[in-house]
Amino acid sequence: MIKPEGRSDGDDPDSHVQVLHASQERQRAEVEVVVTHGVGLRAKVDLTTGGLLSITAL
């Protein structure tokens, strides 16, 4: 049985499984745009789902 804090009882082979709440999940994205040789743009973002919802609300 998996407890709310992500730990399980007994000798369950899946005892290493951790339950993440939706606000703890990570969303990652990366983009690279090259216009010409030596000219371009690279961007990365790493957010929690809660952070993504907060940005959307703005």
Going from N- to C-terminal start, the domains of the chain cover 25-57
Q: Kindly indicate the confidence band of residue 53, based on its pLDDT and cuts at 50, 70 and 90.
A: confident
Q: What are the tens digits of pLDDT across the range 14-38?
A: 566 666 665 567 888 999 999 998 8
* Between residues 47 and 25, the one the model is more confident about: 47
CA distance 18 to 25: 12
- HSE-CB at 17 with a 13 A cutoff on CA atoms is 12
User: Is the model more confident about 42 or about 19?
Assistant: 42
Residue-level pLDDT at 28: 87
- Give percent above pLDDT 70 in the chain: 59
